[in-house]
A and B are shown apart, each in its own frame.
Chain A
Amino acid sequence: MKLSHKEIDGVIVLEPKGKIMGGPDATLLHDMLHDFIDQNKKKVVIDLSKVEWMNSTGLGILISGLTTLRNNGGELKLACVTEKIESLLTITKLITVFENYDTVEDAVKSFK
C-alpha cells in the first residue's frame, strides 16, 4: 500500500493505493493518524477509490483508525468505496459504523 495525503478545508484526505493488508500498512496508517491527532487535525477522510483489495487485517486497520480518532474526539469517514470493499463492509455490518460518501467533496462537506 502507498499512502499519500492532502488537506482540503481543514479535513485530512488520505489516499491509500494498492492493497490494504497487515504488517507495515497498519503501522504506517496508525503513525500517520497519530501525527495528525498531535497537530489537532481530527477530521479525516479516506479516499478508497484506488484500493484494489482489503483483507481482514486491512479492515482491522480501518476499524483501529476510526477508534483512535473517535477516542480523541475526531471522526473518520470513507469516500469512493469500491464495490468489492462495500460488500466487505456490508457483510461485516461495518457499513453501519463508517459514514461513507460517493465523492471526496461530499465527505469533506459532511464535516461542516
Chain B
Amino acid sequence: MGTGFLIAIIYLTSAGVLFLTAGIIFKENVRAGNNRVVAAMLFFAGLAPFCVALDKTVLADIENLSLSITNIFYVWELFFPALLLFSVIFPEPLSFYKKRRRLFQLAFIPHLFHILLVVFLNDPDKVISLLNFDSSTPVIGPIVGFLETILKLLTALMGFLYIFHTRFFSLINLSYVILAMYFLKLGYKNITNPALKLQVKIVIWGIAIAVGLYVVSSIIPTILSFKFPAGLREIIVLTALVVGPGSIAWAIIKYRFMDIGLLARQSLVYTITTAIVVGGYLLVITELSAMFSSTLGIQSRLLDIIVVVVLLLFFQPLYNQVDDFVRRIFIKSRSDYRHLMEEFSRQLVTVFDIDRLAVILSENLNREMFIERTHFAVFDEKSSCFKLLGETRAYEIENEFLNSLAQKQKPIFTSEIAELSHEGYLGGRLVELGSYLLVPLMDKGRLVGIISLSPKVAGFRYTYEDISLLSVIANQVVVALNNAALYVKSLEKQRLEEELEVARKIQMALLPRNLPIHPQYDFAAFNHPSRQVGGDYYDFINLADGTLGIVIADVSGKGVPAALLMARVQAILQTQEKRGLPIAEMLSQLNEFLVKSSSPDRYVTMFYGELDPPRGKFCFSNAGHNHPFILDVAGNIRYLDIGGLILGAFSGSRYDTAVAELRKDEILVMYTDGISEAMNLQEVEFGEARIIDAVKEARSQSAQYICAHIIKSVKKYAEGAEEIDDMTLVVVKRK
C-alpha cells in the first residue's frame, strides 16, 4: 500500500508539474505559436503519468472496467508528434521548418489513426459479436448475412493489424524520438546567449533522458516482444517521470526558462512542495494505522482520526520547512533578478569610466534578461547632444522624443512614441539600431541618458517584472553616471593641483635665496605666490663693474606656462652679469627674444635698474611695470616710470633709460600688481596711495621692517577677500 501510494503521488506530481507548466506557457504568451506547441507537448506528456496515476488509484478498485476506457489513455501518445514539432521550433524555429510548416503538422496523422484504432478496434471479437444481426429475414437476410461476413472479415483483419500495429507503432514513436533529438541538437547549436544555452541544455537533457528511458522500458520491449520484470520497468518509468518534468521545472524555476514570471514559478514550487508534504503524510498515516491495527489488533476509524488530527497539528510547521527547503534550492538561485541587482550594484560602485559602465550594463542585461542588443546613450554637457557609447558622433534629440521620455520617466516601448524616424537624430538612430524598449535615465527631472533595448531572444517578451527591474537599474545607473562625472572632476582637480605644485617649485627655485649685504644699504624682499601661482619674479644680480642689478617682473598668465616663461627671462638676465650690455639694449634684446618665443598674448612687465652703491646712482628702465617709487626724507615721491612697452608683445620696441639717485635715508619700493590690486571685501583695490602711506608709517625703520609693514597692511586690508595674484615686494633703503 505504502509504496503504491508513493508511486501514485510521483505520477500525479509529474502530471501536475507538466500540466501547470503547459498552462502557464500557454497563458503567458498565446500569440506566439511556439508557446502553443510547447504547451501541447507538455500537456500530452502530463497526460501519461496522470492516466497511470488514475489507473493505479481510482480505477484500480473498479471491476470489469471496459478496456476501451483505459485505451483512451493512449491519447497521450500524441506527445510524440508534439515532441517532434517542439524540437523544430525550440528555442528558435529551424529555417527549414519555416518553409514547411504544414508538413510537420502531418506528423499527427499516424497518431490520430492509431488512437482511432486502439480506442474502437482494440477488441475485434467484441466488435464481431456486435455485428451478429438477425439474418433469418427473407430477401434481406442473405444480403445482411453477406454484409455481416464482410464486416466480420474486415474487423478480423483490423484485429490482426492491431496486433502488429502496436509493434509497428512503437517503431514510429521511436523514429519520432530520434528525429526530435536530432533537431533539438541542431537548435541548440544555433544558440549564442550563454544563459539561454544553459536553460535549453537542461531541458534537452531532461527530455532526452526521460524519453530515452521510456524507449528502453516500453518501446523497445514492445518491438522486440520481451518484457522487463514489472518492478524494474516501474522504476525506469518513474525515473523518466521525475527527470523529464523535473528538468523542465528546474529550468523554469531556476533559470527562468521560457521567461516564466515569478508568480508562475512560485506556483510550480508550491505544487512540488504540496506533493512532497501530502505524499509524505498520506504515507505516514497509512503506515501508522496499518501498524496500529496489526500490533494492537484494533481496527478503529477513531484511531485513524486521532492520527490525522495529531499529524495535522504538525502540518503547518512541516509544510513551512519543506517550502523553505524547496525555495532555497530553486528560487534563491544565482540567476534570480535579485542576484542581478546585487551583482550590478557591486560592479557599479567601482566603475568610474562611462564606457566600462556601458559594457557592464549590456553584459548583465543581455545575459540575464535575454536581450539581443543593448545600446547606451549619454548626454554630453559640452555639445548638449547625446552620445551613443561606441560611436563617435553626437546626436541631437527630437523634441517629441525628449518629451515622451521625460513625461513617462519610466521604461517606454518604442512603438508608444510617434514619429521616431528623424534621420541623424537620436530617436531615429535608436530605431535604426533596432530599439524596442527605451529606459530613460532621469536625474532631478532631467534626461541624462537612455538605455535602449532590442527585443529579447527567442521572441520572449518583457514582463512587468522586467520593467520594474529596469526602472530600479536606471536609478542605479544615474548614480553611477554622477559618480563617474565627480571622479573625472576630482581627477582634473588633482592634475591641476599637481601642475600648480610644479609651477610653485619652478618659481621658488628661480627666486634668490639670499639678499645682498652692503654696509650702506638695507635690502628686503617678499614673495608670496597665489594659489594659482602667477609669474612674479625678482632678483639681484652682482654685475662685473661692481654695480648691483635689481629686477622685478610679472609674467602674464598663471601656472606652469607663466613659470616657464619666467625661467627664460631669468636665464637671459643672468647673462647680463657677464655681458654688461647697456640697459636699453638688454631690454630690446629680451623683447625680441620674447616676441619670437611666445604668443603675443603672453608678455612680461619688468623694471630693471643698476645701482652703483658708493654713489647711489640708480640707472633704470621700466618696461610697462608698475611704477616703483623713491620716498625722500621730506615725504615726496619720485616715480621711476621712464622706459618703454611691455616685453614680448611687439617687435621693435625701444627702451629709454633714466638715472635716479638714492640718497641717505631714502627708500626705494618696487612691487607687482598683486600688492596694488589686492582687493578688500568691497572689491576696492589697495592701490598705490595706501602703499605709500604704509611706507611713510614705517620710514624710520629698516627695509625689512618697512617691507613687513606693507605686507601687514595689505593683508589686513584684504582680510577675508579672495587672494587673486602673486604678491612681490622689494624694498631698498640707503642707510
Task: Name which residue of chain A comes closest to B676, CB basis.
Answer: A91
State in angstroms the CA–CA spacing of A94 and B603 once bound together.
Answer: 12
Asked whether A60 lies within 8 Å of B626 as measured between CB atoms, the reply is no
* Contact bitstring A70-98, B, C-beta under 8 A = 1, else 0: 00000000000000000000011110110
Asked whether B625 lies within 8 Å of A94 as measured between CB atoms, the reply is no
* Contact bitstring B631-652, A, C-beta under 8 A = 1, else 0: 0000000000001111001100
Using a Cβ–Cβ cut-off of 8 Å, how many residues does chain A contribute to the interface with B? 18
* Contact bitstring A30-67, B, C-beta under 8 A = 1, else 0: 00000000000000000000000001110111011001
A12 CB-CB contact with B under 8 Å:
no
A26 CB-CB contact with B under 8 Å:
yes
Which of the residues A56, A96, A97 comes within 8 Å of B554, measured between beta carbons? Answer: A56
Task: Name which residue of chain A comes closest to B605, CB basis.
Answer: A92
Asked whether B624 lies within 8 Å of A63 as measured between CB atoms, the reply is no
B547 CB-CB contact with A under 8 Å:
no
Which of the residues A26, A60, A67 comes within 8 Å of B650, measured between beta carbons? Answer: A67
State in angstroms the CA–CA spacing of A61 and B649 once bound together.
Answer: 11
Chain B's nearest CB lies how many Å from the CB of A53?
9
Task: Name which residue of chain A comes closest to B649, CB basis.
Answer: A63
Asked whether B645 lies within 8 Å of A60 as measured between CB atoms, the reply is no
B600 CB-CB contact with A under 8 Å:
yes
B589 CB-CB contact with A under 8 Å:
no
Which A residues lie within 8 Å of B725 (CB)? 55
Asked whether A60 lies within 8 Å of B601 as measured between CB atoms, the reply is yes
Task: Name which residue of chain B comes closest to A68, CB basis.
Answer: B600
Asked whether A93 lies within 8 Å of B624 as measured between CB atoms, the reply is yes
Question: Of residues 88 to 112 in A, which have CB atoms within 8 Å of B's CB atoms?
Answer: 91-94, 96-97
Asked whether B557 lies within 8 Å of A22 as measured between CB atoms, the reply is yes
Asked whether B601 lies within 8 Å of A64 as measured between CB atoms, the reply is yes
Which B residues lie within 8 Å of A93 (CB)? 623-624, 643-646
B577 CB-CB contact with A under 8 Å:
no
B602 CB-CB contact with A under 8 Å:
yes
Task: Name which residue of chain A comes closest to B535, CB basis.
Answer: A56
Chain A's nearest CB lies how many Å from the CB of B532?
10
Task: Name which residue of chain A comes closest to B623, CB basis.
Answer: A93
Asked whether A94 lies within 8 Å of B624 as measured between CB atoms, the reply is yes
B599 CB-CB contact with A under 8 Å:
yes
Asked whether A61 lies within 8 Å of B601 as measured between CB atoms, the reply is yes
Asked whether B624 lies within 8 Å of A26 as measured between CB atoms, the reply is no
Question: Of residues 613 to 636 in B, which have CB atoms within 8 Å of A's CB atoms?
Answer: 623-627
Which B residues lie within 8 Å of A67 (CB)? 600, 649-650
Asked whether B625 lies within 8 Å of A91 as measured between CB atoms, the reply is yes
Which of the residues B557, B601, B645, B724 comes within 8 Å of A94, measured between beta carbons? Answer: B645
Task: Name which residue of chain B comes closest to A70, CB basis.
Answer: B650
Which B residues lie within 8 Å of A92 (CB)? 605, 624, 645-646
Most buried by A among B602, B623, B624, B625: B624
Chain B's nearest CB lies how many Å from the CB of A50?
17
Chain A's nearest CB lies how many Å from the CB of B412?
38
Asked whether A56 lies within 8 Å of B557 as measured between CB atoms, the reply is yes
Which of the residues A22, A55, A60, A91 comes within 8 Å of B603, measured between beta carbons? Answer: A60
Which B residues lie within 8 Å of A60 (CB)? 556-557, 600-603
Which B residues lie within 8 Å of A61 (CB)? 601
Asked whether A63 lies within 8 Å of B600 as measured between CB atoms, the reply is yes
Task: Name which residue of chain B comes closest to A63, CB basis.
Answer: B649
Asked whether B603 lies within 8 Å of A63 as measured between CB atoms, the reply is yes
Which B residues lie within 8 Å of A63 (CB)? 600-601, 603, 646, 649-650
Which B residues lie within 8 Å of A55 (CB)? 724-725
Asked whether B557 lies within 8 Å of A96 as measured between CB atoms, the reply is no
Asked whether A97 lies within 8 Å of B645 as measured between CB atoms, the reply is yes
State in angstroms the CA–CA spacing of A91 and B673 once bound together.
Answer: 11
Are A59 and B556 also in contact (CB < 8 A) when A64-B601, A92-B605 are? Answer: yes
Chain A's nearest CB lies how many Å from the CB of B731?
20
Are A91 and B601 also in contact (CB < 8 A) when A22-B557, A97-B650 are? Answer: no
Task: Name which residue of chain A comes closest to B677, CB basis.
Answer: A55
State in angstroms the CA–CA spacing of A57 and B554 once bound together.
Answer: 11
Which B residues lie within 8 Å of A97 (CB)? 645, 649-650
State in angstroms the CA–CA spacing of A92 and B643 once bound together.
Answer: 10
State in angstroms the CA–CA spacing of A2 and B605 once bound together.
Answer: 27
State in angstroms the CA–CA spacing of A63 and B646 once bound together.
Answer: 10
Which A residues lie within 8 Å of B556 (CB)? 56-57, 59-60
Are A64 and B600 also in contact (CB < 8 A) when A56-B673, A91-B626 are? Answer: yes
Which A residues lie within 8 Å of B626 (CB)? 91
Chain B's nearest CB lies how many Å from the CB of A87?
10
Most buried by A among B627, B650, B724, B725: B650
Asked whether A96 lies within 8 Å of B601 as measured between CB atoms, the reply is no
Task: Name which residue of chain A comes closest to B604, CB basis.
Answer: A56
State in angstroms the CA–CA spacing of A68 and B599 once bound together.
Answer: 11
Are A94 and B600 also in contact (CB < 8 A) when A56-B557, A60-B556, A60-B557 are? Answer: no
State in angstroms the CA–CA spacing of A93 and B646 once bound together.
Answer: 7
Chain B's nearest CB lies how many Å from the CB of A51?
15
State in angstroms the CA–CA spacing of A67 and B724 once bound together.
Answer: 28
Asked whether B601 lies within 8 Å of A57 as measured between CB atoms, the reply is yes
Asked whether A57 lies within 8 Å of B557 as measured between CB atoms, the reply is yes
Which of the residues B601, B625, B646, B673 comes within 8 Å of A26, measured between beta carbons? Answer: B601
State in angstroms the CA–CA spacing of A55 and B599 once bound together.
Answer: 17
9 more contacts with CB within 8 A, not counting A56-B554, A59-B556, are A55-B724, A57-B557, A63-B646, A63-B650, A67-B600, A91-B605, A91-B624, A92-B645, A92-B646
A-B contact pairs, 18 of them (CB 8 A): A22-B558, A56-B605, A57-B556, A60-B557, A60-B600, A60-B602, A63-B603, A63-B646, A67-B649, A67-B650, A91-B625, A92-B645, A93-B623, A94-B624, A94-B645, A94-B646, A94-B649, A96-B645
A interface residues, Cβ below 8 angstroms from B: 22, 26, 55-57, 59-61, 63-64, 67-68, 91-94, 96-97
B interface residues, Cβ below 8 angstroms from A: 554, 556-558, 599-603, 605, 623-627, 643-646, 649-650, 673, 724-725
